Amino acid sequence: MRRRLRRLLKSFVEKVILMKERHGIIGGLFSRLSMALFMAGRTACMAQVKDISSVELMQRIKAKRAGLILDVRSPQEYAEGHIPGAINIPYKQLGSRLAEIASHKNKEIVLYCRSGGCAGIAANTLRAEGFCKLLHLAGDMNGWRSNGSLPVKHSNGQAC
């Protein structure tokens, strides 16, 4: 859909430029307007990723309204302990595995890694693909664990 929108906007811009050439200044005004619309469409998902606290995420998990929780660490780190309900797609694989989370494109997605760097890379990847409702777990997994009272699930299914 994004490609189709880009083609439509490009076609529109080309027509406006033609109109400018034929009709002078009035066309120029339309040209500026169309360029502004084009740029707005390109940056629609460049909004800042908001932080969510560990406590707020746990409240959402308990209320069954956490949305998708995406752990972007390695499978080994995920197996050693993750947030209950989280799925694991390592940030390096995210671009090739977008189909797995496509149904969440217009829903909130909570991202986390060990300490924040990889979650930022993952957020950029997702925003470039049109995922706009991104939240970052403040403190990431290190912060979650340091709380001491929040559950950590291990690959064997046990939570501690």
Q: Which of 113, 118, 132, 160 is catalytic?
A: 113
Q: Token pair of 70, please?
A: 């995406």
144 contacts: CB under 8 Å, gap ≥ 6 = 54, 83, 112, 137, 150, 152
Q: Assess whether 113 carries a catalytic annotation.
A: yes
Per the structure block, which two tokens stand in for 91?
């940030």
Residues 6+ apart with CB under 8 A from 38: 9, 10, 12, 13
**CA 64 to each of CA 9, 53, 54, 59: distance values in angstroms, whole numbers, following the listed order:** 40, 16, 15, 9
State the Cα–Cα distance between residues 17 and 20, nearest whole angstrom: 5
Rounded to whole angstroms, the maximal C-alpha distance in the chain is 71
Residues marked as catalytic: 113
